[in-house]
Structure 1
Amino acid sequence: MSKRERILSMAVGSLLLLFVVQWGINKYRAAVRTRTNLITQLREENAEQQQTLLEGAYAENQMDEYIARSLPSNRERAQSDYQSWLLEMLGSVSVSDPRVNPTTVTPSGDLYNRFSYSVDGGTDLPSLVGLLHSFYSKDYLHGISKMTINPARDRSGMLDVKMSIDVLALSAAPSDTKPVASHSWRTEPDVSVYLDPILNRNFYEPPNQAPVFDGRKTIEAIVGKSSTTPLTFKDPEGHRLRYELISKSDQKGTLEQVIGQSTVKLDPRTGTVSIRSNEKREFNLLVRAVDDGYPSRVSEQTLTVRIVDPPPPPKPVEKFKFDDAKQTVLTALVQGRQNWTAWLNIRTRGETLKLAVGDTFDIGSLKGSVVEVTPKYVVLESDGKRFELTPAGILAEAAKTAKSIPQAQMDPSIKPSDEEGVAEETEIEEATSEEGAILDEEAVIINQTVAESR
């Protein structure tokens, strides 16, 4: 065999070996899968059988319970025993003229017999609640299939009640079984648990809520005077409230209490408390608010009453004085023949002051004099301070920028050379033609008009 043939034969043998190994692995996996499925199936069957056993045990226990609650399997005895119990139960809850009549007996194969009864009588609403409680507290296999309630025609507050009742007697129950003695776990032993939610139930709106106190818990009254304070209770439904004072001795509601030398009165409609006391003291007051909802709800609150001295008389309030300086505006700077003048318009008075250098003014909170008037501003002095006021400026606002005057400026010494300069300027101004002065004055008035319009 040549080398090539040996290599070919080895390759073919390797492929055959791989095929055999793959087949073995697949065979093993199939066997494991089959075993796993079988185990899962057996477990499910076991669980189903366990569930069946549990259901059977539950059904057996349930059947034992039903047998214990069943009437005797003997028809005559079952019918007689249950009718006697109905009459006894109706008498215990004060039903007037009770009537219990057997109507039909309906068998259901060999499982049970259903006995039907017709019951009627007269009662009031609390007794009707007691009747239903007594009926369902007895742990028979019974129920009310139909009940009709109508107001009694000849008795106020009474009701005519008619009921159709069904009860079962299991065929597996003993024929001489004794009446059920145990109380049903489905109802509360005490009937009062059901009386309040049933008798006080409002069918036309949500359950009524009690009023809520929403005021101060401390009341102050002035000694020797009658003081009034309104109580602040709020009702969630907006019902009308009635107020009472509660006596500590008997908890009864009153409208007036005397505590020492203090007399307390309460308006039942408005809830206004009136207190008069001749001595300074402190005591507690218990009040009650009752709404007119259905059923009526009550809320109580303890208040602390303090009898105190009258407050000191109030200090006289100074009348507000309007500051004219805040409404005074520099409307114009006018040049005349001799000098410049500042026109201050006091808007609150409808008055215009025309002030030249040296003139004084008294406007609102500001008093002072005019120090200098230029074509662009006026310098005013007030309380030893100077400030500038420009056209359209407000006097009070400009005064806030006032600065103290240096000592040297308060007593200025005028030198002769200064006087000569002033004289020369005066001669130049006097030499000005009358026509030029008129033109200048008109220009300044135009500036004044523009400033006032602003």
Structure 2
Amino acid sequence: MSDREKKLAAAVVLLVVLWGGNWAWKKYATWRDNAVARHSAADTGKQDAFHQRVQAQRKVAQLGKWRKQSLPAVLPVAQSEYRGWLIHQLQEARLDVDDLVPQRTNLRSNAYQAISYQVTANGRSEAVIRFLDSFYRSDQMHKITSLQLTPDGSRDVKVVLSVEALVVNGVKRKTGLYEGESERLALASADEYIERIIERNPFAAYEPPPPPRKERPVVVREERSTPPPRPRFNHAEYAYLTGLVSVGDDFQAWVTVRTQEKDRLRLNKGDDIEVGLFKGKVVSIDKRLMVVETEDGDVVEFGMGDKLTDGRILTSAAAGS
């Protein structure tokens, strides 16, 4: 074999070796990438399974807590015992119960049964706060879905509220309500809530204290044979519209006269009003405004917080004449 043939054969062998090595490397690289991907997928699956197991354990623990807080498993027993509990809490708070009737509820689930009651009662604002405190300190599976408070013109309020409570499927207890105490309330007792709420009237706008009276300098005047008449003090300068309250189908206006201690007028449509130099008749009252026709024939409107001397004139008798 000549040198030229030997070199050609060596080149061919080298090409075959290089091609085979490249093919073997690609096969190895593909196998390695697939192995790494399978290992990563296995790790991810293991982590997902761990998180799912932890979440399942938490849900099982939560379901156990809900079953503990649930009403009894037997629905008629749950309705009767929860109704008795509601009446007891209302009476303990010193609310007079007018009516307590079951309601249909829109809650539907395969995991629980819901019962609902509507309560109508009346009493002092302090009694309402005591009932709400006792309701929310109870850690039962229940909630207040609506609450309406209507003042009756005195210190009493009319209360209309709706409550819902749950019977969680799987509860073993056949009778008896859960007696645990909730930690959802920020203050320690109902008295603390009463002190913070009742010290200001929740049904009236805030009334700042009257400004201090400034002492006027003494002016020495020349004596006159007939002293000029002293101007009459006008209490209307210190009379404010502090409330527009729903009373049945109508509205009532509350006017507070700050210069006359504990003097609050409760006015209905058609009532006469006389405060200081302000005199007139109430024409209309709604949830935003009180309209008065003054003795001079002006028609004046007042919003919450307005003084009787700062009303907005709708119709002027002078302009009409």
TM range (shorter): 0.5 to 0.7
Q: Is 1:168 the equivalent of 2:166?
A: yes
Superposition deviation, residue 68 in structure 1: 0.6
Quote the Cα distance in structure 2 between the aligned partners of 1:106 and 1:172. 21
Residue type at the aligned position of 2:181? H
Residue equivalent to 1:70: 70
Residue equivalent to 2:182: 184
Question: Which piece of structure 1 moves more, 23-32 or 195-204?
Answer: 195-204
Quote the Cα distance in structure 2 between the aligned partners of 1:30 and 1:97. 80
3-state DSSP of counterpart to 2:180: coil
Residue equivalent to 2:3: 3
Residue equivalent to 2:21: 21
- Fraction of identical pairs, as percent: 22
3-state DSSP of counterpart to 1:139: coil
Residue type at the aligned position of 1:183? E
Whether the aligned pair in 2 keeps the contact of 1:87 and 1:98 (CA below 8 Å) is no
Q: Is 1:144 the equivalent of 2:144?
A: yes
Whether the aligned pair in 1 keeps the contact of 2:121 and 2:160 (CA below 8 Å) is yes
Residue equivalent to 2:294: none
Quote the Cα distance in structure 1 between the aligned partners of 2:215 and 2:80. 63
By relative contact order (CA 8 Å, sep 6+), the higher-ranking structure is: 2
Whether the aligned pair in 1 keeps the contact of 2:140 and 2:180 (CA below 8 Å) is no
Superposition deviation, residue 108 in structure 1: 4.2
Whether the aligned pair in 2 keeps the contact of 1:130 and 1:191 (CA below 8 Å) is yes
Quote the Cα distance in structure 1 between the aligned partners of 2:35 and 2:203. 67
Residue type at the aligned position of 1:165? V
Superposition deviation, residue 70 in structure 1: 0.5
Structure 1 residues 36 and 147: alpha-carbon distance in aligned structure 2, compared to 1, 3 A threshold: same
Quote the Cα distance in structure 1 between the aligned partners of 2:204 and 2:100. 35
Superposition deviation, residue 158 in structure 1: 1.3
Structure 1 residues 157 and 202: alpha-carbon distance in aligned structure 2, compared to 1, 3 A threshold: closer
Residue equivalent to 2:154: 156
Quote the Cα distance in structure 2 between the aligned partners of 1:39 and 1:204. 70
Quote the Cα distance in structure 2 between the aligned partners of 1:271 and 1:55. 73
1:282-321 matches, cutoff 5 A = none
3-state DSSP of counterpart to 2:51: helix
Structure 1 residues 132 and 202: alpha-carbon distance in aligned structure 2, compared to 1, 3 A threshold: closer
Superposition deviation, residue 121 in structure 1: 0.7
Residue equivalent to 1:120: 120
Whether the aligned pair in 1 keeps the contact of 2:140 and 2:179 (CA below 8 Å) is no
Superposition deviation, residue 98 in structure 1: 4.7
Whether the aligned pair in 1 keeps the contact of 2:93 and 2:130 (CA below 8 Å) is yes
Residue equivalent to 1:334: none
Whether the aligned pair in 1 keeps the contact of 2:87 and 2:97 (CA below 8 Å) is no
Structure 1 residues 11 and 132: alpha-carbon distance in aligned structure 2, compared to 1, 3 A threshold: same
Whether the aligned pair in 1 keeps the contact of 2:78 and 2:175 (CA below 8 Å) is no
Whether the aligned pair in 1 keeps the contact of 2:90 and 2:97 (CA below 8 Å) is no
1:262-281 matches, cutoff 5 A = 269-270=213-214
Structure 1 residues 178 and 203: alpha-carbon distance in aligned structure 2, compared to 1, 3 A threshold: closer
Residue equivalent to 1:215: none
Which whole-Å deviations, capped at 9, do the CAs of 1:127-182 have from their partners, x for residues lacking one?
22222121111111111122221112xx5021101011111112311242432211
Quote the Cα distance in structure 2 between the aligned partners of 1:109 and 1:181. 25
Quote the Cα distance in structure 1 between the aligned partners of 2:23 and 2:131. 82
Residue type at the aligned position of 2:4? R
Whether the aligned pair in 2 keeps the contact of 1:142 and 1:165 (CA below 8 Å) is yes
Residue equivalent to 1:42: 42
Q: State how many pairs are aligned.
A: 215
1:3-402 matches, cutoff 5 A = 3-104=3-104, 108=108, 110-152=110-152, 156-188=154-186, 189-195=188-194, 198-199=197-198, 200=200, 241-242=211-212, 269-270=213-214
Quote the Cα distance in structure 2 between the aligned partners of 1:41 and 1:71. 46
CA RMSD of aligned residues (A): 3.1
3-state DSSP of counterpart to 2:25: helix
Quote the Cα distance in structure 1 between the aligned partners of 2:192 and 2:11. 94
Whether the aligned pair in 2 keeps the contact of 1:113 and 1:171 (CA below 8 Å) is yes
Structure 1 residues 126 and 49: alpha-carbon distance in aligned structure 2, compared to 1, 3 A threshold: same
Whether the aligned pair in 1 keeps the contact of 2:103 and 2:118 (CA below 8 Å) is yes
Quote the Cα distance in structure 2 between the aligned partners of 1:8 and 1:64. 84
